Every structure is written in structure tokens, then in C-alpha cells.
Amino acid sequence: MTLGYMEELKIRRMREEDLNKVLEIENLSFSNPWSRNAFLFELVNRGISYPIIIEKEDKIIGYSIMWIIGEESHITNIAIHPHYRKMGIGKFILEKLITISKKRKAKYISLEVRKSNKNAVMLYEKMEFKLIGIRKNYYTNPLEDALIYLKQI
């Protein structure tokens, strides 16, 4: 992928009118997807929640939700539409989330990921996130451990 492609990507705050497309991506991405109400909660919880949309040519191709509480940022969700995966967009989003976190004075950023999600694990480790623990049976459908990653920023 060329740098020019990344320059075509836009990030903005998620809005309620985005939810149909967000839910489509959510359902394509996760075996235990969030509900519309869960996303609505993130939209109104502006004190800590930072839900963003990734657009290419005004088309929503991904999203992320991050909480920022004091010195900690916590990524709760990153999803890219399957047609746009393996193009560097996940790395692009992580870089933006780290930048946002720094601007909001966070000192570190954390996340959980399914143990079997090898592509995500490789990306987080490439981005210098450190494995700090395991949450046993954290995920359902199927039941699976979560790897906990942390990055000082």
C-alpha cells in the first residue's frame, strides 16, 4: 500500500447515523458482536469514550472505540471491513489512537485480544505493545482467553 492510500483515509467521531454501517462491520468482524445499544452508550458517554470512524471516499470502512480515563487509554474495539483488511489500516488506526491518547495526556494504552487472533497479535507486538497478562475465558462464542497488552506512550 502506498502512502497516498493512507492520505485518502479520514478519521472522525462516530455519530448515531453511522451505526447501521458500524453494526454491519461489527457483525462481519466478531463472533459475539456488540448491540446497537452498546454503541449508543459509547456515543453518549463522551466523558471517557472516544468512538471513531475510518472513512475512504466518504464510505465507512472501519471504526474503533477507546476509553480515556486519567492516564490510561483502553482500546475496547477495532474493526475493519473485511474488504479492507491486510492493507495497513489497523496500524494506521493504532497510530491515530496513540496520538489522540498523548494529546489527552494518557501515559499508557491497553487492550485485550483473542489469543487466536494472530494477525492482531502480530500488529500489536510490531507496534511495541507488551503482553502483560491473560484473562482466562474472557471471550465467549467460542470460549477463549484474552491476551492483555500494554504500551507506554
pLDDT digits (tens, 9 = 90+) for 110-147: 999 999 999 999 999 999 999 999 999 999 989 999 99
pLDDT digits (tens, 9 = 90+) for 33-49: 999 999 999 999 988 99
Q: What is the DSSP letter of 14?
A: -
Provide the residue type at 142 as one letter: P
Q: Where are the extended beta strands (E) located within 3-143?
A: 9-13, 49-56, 59-69, 72-80, 108-114, 130-139
Could you confirm whether 112 is annotated as catalytic? yes
Q: Please give the pLDDT value at position 6.
A: 66
What is the enclosing helix (H) or strand (E) of 149? strand 144-152
Which of these is catalytic: 50, 124, 139, 149?
124
- For residue 8, give the C-alpha cell: 485518502
Which of these is catalytic: 26, 42, 112, 139?
112
pLDDT tier at 1 (50, 70, 90 boundaries)? very low
pTM of the shown model? 0.90
Q: Pick the closest to residue 17 from 50, 51, 49, 48 (CA basis).
A: 51
